[in-house]
Structure 1
Amino acid sequence: MFDLEKEFLSDLNKEVKTGTTVMAVTFKGGVIIAADSRTSSGSYAVNRVTDKLTPVHDQIYCLRSGSAADTQIISSYVSYYTNMFSIEEGSKPTVKKAAHMFREFLYQNKQYLHAAIICAGWDPIEGGSVYSLPLGGSIVKQPFSTGGSGSTYLYGYCDMNFKENMTEEEADKFVTYGITEAIARDGGSGGIVRKAIIDKNGVRRKTVYGNKLKKFWEK
């Protein structure tokens, strides 16, 4: 006999797969971060226009993949502590400082969390920088980084198209086409492309709507 209550409880205990695609890249003078906008729960898209670019401090942002709950609470903690640091020290935190705060939370709680972070931004010491923090809490400074379910489709694209000291325009195209490819290939990624250019002048936000995205074979 079909047991509705048993089936319901069984569904509650099942892992729910989610998806996203996030990218960050350094250019000559700063960094550009980008993400798709689809929030999914299994095969259901619960939000098509999510803003996945999360501010940590004035010129420091993070990109989150994994458990939304885990990454949201961690980014909130890091934002709180970087702001406290800024008040106590009388200076803005560096991207490296914020990234190592993320690393501390992720590493100390690695057995409980399903969270991966890309921390990127600009500071007067290092200029534009990108730090990748995968599952487990390790930390690697990279010229570019990708994350989320759509990132598996981007490694070949990034290897072929990345170059050192790109201009802002080149870096903008690099992340836009990257997210576009992931949206075309990954069922967990979709919607629009949100971007932020971070440099010594601050943060500028851009949005490319779905009907304006070139197909990856048209680029």
Structure 2
Amino acid sequence: METVELYNSQEQIVLDDLSEPVKTGTTIMAVQYKGGIVIGADSRTTSGALIVNRVTDKLTPVADKIFSLRSGSAADTQEIAAIVRYYLNILSTEQGKPPTVKMAANLFRQFCYVYKNYLLASIICAGYDETDGPSIYSIPLGGAIIKQPYAIGGSGSTYLYGYCDANFKEDMTKEECVSFVTNAVGLAIARDGSSGGIIRYAIIDSDGVERHTIYGDQVKNYFK
């Protein structure tokens, strides 16, 4: 009887977790260097205490050289990114030129602000355009918009403020930026239970987008 009750109790916990919204409890990051942007994220998606996807791609392109990094409700952020991509495609067709990062960020801001009572979405919009060069905009919960030289977000970001404050510097090289981003995401994975999996990062500059993956067994272990 005790075994049956234990099984039923565990089964109910699983069912309760599955009823939770699917969230990208996550670590996302974007850093500007002279001439480009480096963006990075972990790959874990959770529902309650359950990991529902270990290899989610949270670096979502909305234009050729513009990406959104998503944290919050997976459904909400995916839908917003799809809508922004649709509008940017129309705008670029009408104007006959690629959209700017500022244009994309303001579209994200508009949707996140207007529907702030219905959505759980925090976005980092980053990329490169010929008008402004490399740009990073943070759109936190509620729909504010803040242009920054670097931005971090998601549950894992709470572990990174000290590291970022101590190690960020203006006009880093591309290699320094890659090291900064991958080390930060790795540190968050080591501490944050909602961050994990692999590290995806991308380098965005005037030449285009260069994407890379650091697999789980290659993520630095900071406790050895």
TM-score when normalising by structure 1: 0.92
Counterpart CA distance in 1 for 2:43 and 2:71 is 12
1:88–1:164 distance in 2 versus 1, CA, 3 Å: same
Which string of whole-angstrom CA distances, capped at 9 and with x for unpartnered residues, describes residues 36-71 of structure 1? 011111221111111111000000000010111111
- 1:70-219 equivalences under 5 Å are 70-216=76-222
Counterpart CA distance in 1 for 2:76 and 2:50 is 20
Secondary structure of 2:85 counterpart: helix
Matched residue pairs, number?
213
Gaps of 5+ in 2: none
Equivalent pair of 1:193/1:209 in contact (CA under 8 Å): yes
1:116–1:196 distance in 2 versus 1, CA, 3 Å: same
What letter corresponds to residue 215 of structure 1 in structure 2? Answer: N
Residue 126 (structure 1) shift? 1.4
- Structure 1 stretches of at least 4 aligned residues deviating more than 6 Å after TM superposition: none
Secondary structure of 2:113 counterpart: helix
Equivalent pair of 1:27/1:164 in contact (CA under 8 Å): yes
Counterpart CA distance in 1 for 2:175 and 2:119 is 36
Equivalent pair of 1:53/1:63 in contact (CA under 8 Å): yes
Counterpart CA distance in 1 for 2:185 and 2:222 is 10
Which string of whole-angstrom CA distances, capped at 9 and with x for unpartnered residues, describes residues 89-136 of structure 1? 000110000000001111111111111000000011211110000000
Aligned sequence identity (%): 60
Equivalent pair of 1:177/1:216 in contact (CA under 8 Å): no
What letter corresponds to residue 144 of structure 1 in structure 2? Answer: Y
Determine if the alignment matches structure 1 residue 30 to structure 2 residue 33.
no
What letter corresponds to residue 192 of structure 1 in structure 2? Answer: I
Counterpart CA distance in 2 for 1:45 and 1:14 is 13
Counterpart CA distance in 2 for 1:12 and 1:152 is 24
TM-score when normalising by structure 2: 0.90
